[in-house]
Structure 1
């Protein structure tokens, strides 16, 4: 599964590169927003708020409503535990590669769009935190996370507003003493600006 997802990510990066050759001036930008995450397939957990921020490059396909947009994001995932003050935080450097499809004339000021694509996440930190304690949990979770992102948004001149869902496809737990088959899942709302 990881090899297949890695192949898809590599293929989309190559597509972005060939698109960049055809359209020499990609749009670059920054984005940030709120990540609302939990573990799928897991009981006694609730959604936890976190941040999502990073940079992107948008490569438009000539004579087409399509664009390829690789991103590099710092994404805070994890979960709150029911009936306790404890929360689990797992932070990733996340690299989505999105295929984006715009609707309406390209010269329009307001352009709605939909998008989807794979992502790879690389863990940078994980911990369980309560009101009176913090415990590092790096050894209990996999160093990588692979999944897909789908969403929709609107571009208003150089400003973009997006809503997306990211679904992990790989188990994030490395230690079998925890529940098996835990996968990341998050709703995200972001705003970005292109230069």
Structure 2
């Protein structure tokens, strides 16, 4: 895991170092998650609501700010629940997406890889916490994110994003090949307005 994290941070540093020396735009992001599991045995599970919140930035690669690299650090709650709402898998992650962003007027498009680091969670049955130790789930997972949204000159933007894991949810290959997937409604504010 340490090697993977070091390689991921090295790639992020290389990308941002190649950006023009224009100061990056910094901001905050928060919103709602609608998460579920995909893969084996996921058909009998429902999605559940959660949230995400964290910091975002944009490193502009063109002088007109048309193209940018957008790294983020987001706390994100994910999981799924049984169809009778009796059992809930609640897992918390630190998501680190590194997105390519195209600013086409007020409309923007984004997409790229994402690393997720499990930081907590539990499994509830009948409203009672039955499992606190989630070591059965992988600590690190990799996936992708893609989205579209609207940005205002005041620095406020609203968008929708989908992110899905390529990595399996469980460490034990004999259990299931379930993976996280999340629809996000996200609101961001870039300090200093848009450029």
* Alignment partner of 2:37 out of 36, 39, 42: 39
> What residue in structure 2 maps to residue 156 of structure 1?
152
Please state how far the C-alpha of 1:132 moved relative to its aligned partner: 4.0
Please state how far the C-alpha of 1:156 moved relative to its aligned partner: 0.7
Secondary structure in 1 matching 2:107: strand
> What residue in structure 2 maps to residue 25 of structure 1?
23
Query: Which deviations, in whole Å up to 9, do the C-alpha atoms of 1:110-129 show, x marking residues without a partner?
Result: x2110101010000012111
> What residue in structure 2 maps to residue 107 of structure 1?
none
Maintained 8 Å contact 1:128/1:137: no
- TM-score between both structures, scaled by the size of structure 1: 0.86
Kindly tell me the number of residue pairs found equivalent between the two proteins: 184
* Alignment partner of 2:114 out of 116, 119, 122: 119
Please state how far the C-alpha of 1:151 moved relative to its aligned partner: 0.6
Secondary structure in 2 matching 1:138: coil
Unaligned runs of 5+ in 2: none
- 1:67 partnered with 2:65: no
Unaligned runs of 5+ in 1: 105-110
Of 135-144 and 162-171, the range deviating more from structure 2: 135-144
Maintained 8 Å contact 2:47/2:80: yes
Query: Which deviations, in whole Å up to 9, do the C-alpha atoms of 1:2-58 show, x marking residues without a partner?
Result: x99986774344212221xx2331110001000111011123111010010000111
Secondary structure in 2 matching 1:11: helix
Maintained 8 Å contact 1:160/1:192: yes
**Superposition RMSD in Å:** 2.1
- TM-score between both structures, scaled by the size of structure 2: 0.86
Maintained 8 Å contact 1:13/1:70: no
